[in-house]
């Protein structure tokens, strides 16, 4: 996956015209491109609050409801990569703890990495989905300032990746399938994390998770940022929610490296090809899970029901394979990632080499 994303980005290094002034900031938690929808909804709310609406008002309410549905469909059918990034980061988008409440029938959290400390940004535990017992691993960003500080905005330390791997090994030992929810801007980049072996622990996870003989399903529910996401992203079935992204680097990071300014983040987002539609076409992910009309932040419960159905179906299909075949399929799955070309050597090249 990384090779493909990088190669796509490097074809767009030429500097485009500098973007103009940023658009005015929308009201809190309202994205700029959603403003026409909110204007219609505000008008609908005003009409619905009338005590004794006239027949004309009732008719206008019906027309407005239809217009709002159509406007949502129009807006979200034509989002560009940067707008999808904004949706993936929406403050009201359901996060891991929300899905644990809505998708799982039971959940018991497990703590600690048996070496340093418990990392709150990486959640692990035992749960059930429709009587299916599973081991859960997922990143949680936090839904308010206090929670975000506690969970470090979903950016795990080395001990978070050790914790995840330890619990996943336990699941494989007892024959439990594994679910991983990915939602992080990236692994924590602080000095203390590097001192404790951040890169090593992520790389170690990649190798060890690939050898676990139990079904693993990974779902990108929001941001899938760099090695922080990939550290728990090795699985038999990789899925993304419709308006999430999965990338080797954030648009801002890419813009800073290639164009030396964050204002080119929209160009970077387009060049990285990290949206669910692109990654499904390129074979990086196996499934795109549709979101409710207007995206997941509009309807948490409906999104959770769709996600739950997808998980159950994926486990049903993976359960048909014996463990040795499951490992072979997982190995081949990741070996196939990437695009390259081979050309036959010319006669002159062959003569020169001989």
What is the per-residue pLDDT across 143-196, written as a single tens digit (0 to 9) for each? 999 999 999 999 999 999 999 999 999 999 999 999 999 999 999 999 999 999
* Same domain assignment for residues 41 and 186: no
Given a cut of 90, whether residue 2 has pLDDT beyond it is no
> pLDDT tens, 325-343?
999 999 999 988 876 677 7
User: Does residue 4 register a pLDDT over 70?
Assistant: no
Q: Is residue 263, in this structure, part of any structural domain at all? A: yes
**What is the rounded CA–CA span in Å between residue 155 and residue 184?**
6
Residue 40: per-residue pLDDT? 92
Residues 45 and 115 placed together within one structural domain of the fold: no
The structural domain count of the chain equals 2
What is the mean pLDDT of the segment spanning 98-118? Answer: 95
Same domain, 219 and 312: yes
Q: For residues 215 and 317, what is the distance between their CA atoms, to the nearest angstrom?
A: 10
When pLDDT is averaged across residues 312-323 and rounded to a whole number, the result is 93
pLDDT tens, position by position, 185-227: 999 999 999 999 999 999 999 999 999 999 999 999 999 988 9
Above pLDDT 90, what percent of the chain? 77
Return the pLDDT at 231: 95
- 61 and 175 fall within a common domain: no
Whether pLDDT at 315 is above 80: yes
- The pLDDT of residue 53: 83
Residues 168 and 230 reside in one and the same domain: yes
State pTM to two decimals.
Answer: 0.85
Is 300 contained in some domain?
A: yes
In this structure, the answer to whether residues 62 and 132 fall within a common structural domain is no
Question: Which residue range is the domain that position 62 belongs to?
Answer: 33-78
Q: Are 248 and 123 within one domain?
A: yes
Whether 218 is covered by a domain: the verdict is yes
Asked if 39 and 57 sit in the same domain, the reply is yes
Q: Identify whether residues 315 and 195 lie together within a single domain.
A: yes
Same domain flag for 48 and 139? no
The answer to whether residues 164 and 204 belong to one domain is: yes
| Shared-domain flag, residues 60 and 116 | no
Residue 346 — very low, low, confident or very high, per pLDDT cuts 50/70/90? Answer: low
- Span 119-137, average pLDDT: 96
């Amino acid at each position: 996956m990384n090779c493909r994303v990088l190669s796509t980005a490097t074809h767009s290094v030429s500097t485009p015209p500098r973007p103009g002034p940023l658009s005015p900031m929308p009201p809190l938690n309202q994205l700029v491109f959603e403003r026409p929808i909110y204007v219609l909804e505000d008008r609908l709310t005003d009409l619905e609050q009338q005590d004794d609406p006239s027949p004309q008002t009732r008719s206008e309410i019906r027309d407005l409801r239809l217009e709002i549905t159509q406007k949502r469909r129009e807006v979200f059918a034509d989002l560009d990569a940067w707008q999808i990034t904004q949706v993936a980061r929406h403050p009201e988008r359901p996060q891991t703890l929300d899905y644990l409440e809505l998708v799982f029938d039971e959940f018991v959290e497990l703590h600690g990495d048996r070496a340093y400390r418990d990392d709150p940004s990486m959640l692990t535990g035992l749960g059930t989905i429709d009587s299916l017992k599973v081991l859960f691993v997922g990143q949680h960003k936090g839904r308010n300032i206090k929670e975000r500080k506690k969970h470090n905005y979903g950016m795990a330390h080395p001990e978070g990746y050790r914790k995840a791997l330890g619990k996943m090994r336990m699941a494989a030992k007892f024959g439990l399938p594994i679910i991983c929810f990915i939602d992080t801007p990236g692994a924590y980049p602080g000095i203390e994390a590097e001192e404790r072996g951040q890169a090593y622990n992520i790389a170690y996870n990649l190798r060890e998770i690939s050898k676990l003989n139990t079904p693993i399903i990974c779902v990108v529910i929001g941001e899938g940022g760099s090695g922080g996401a990939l550290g728990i992203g090795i699985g038999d079935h990789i899925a993304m929610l419709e308006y999430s992204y999965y990338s080797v680097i954030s648009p801002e990071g890419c813009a800073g490296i290639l164009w030396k300014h964050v204002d080119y983040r929209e160009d970077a987002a387009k060049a990285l090809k990290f949206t669910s539609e692109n990654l499904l076409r390129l074979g990086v992910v196996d499934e795109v899970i549709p979101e409710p009309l207007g995206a997941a932040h509009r309807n948490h419960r409906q999104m959770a029901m769709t996600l739950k159905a997808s998980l159950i179906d994926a486990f049903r299909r993976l359960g048909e394979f014996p463990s040795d075949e499951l490992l072979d399929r997982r190995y081949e799955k990741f070996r196939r990632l990437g695009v390259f070309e081979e050309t036959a050597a010319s006669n002159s090249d062959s003569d020169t080499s001989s």
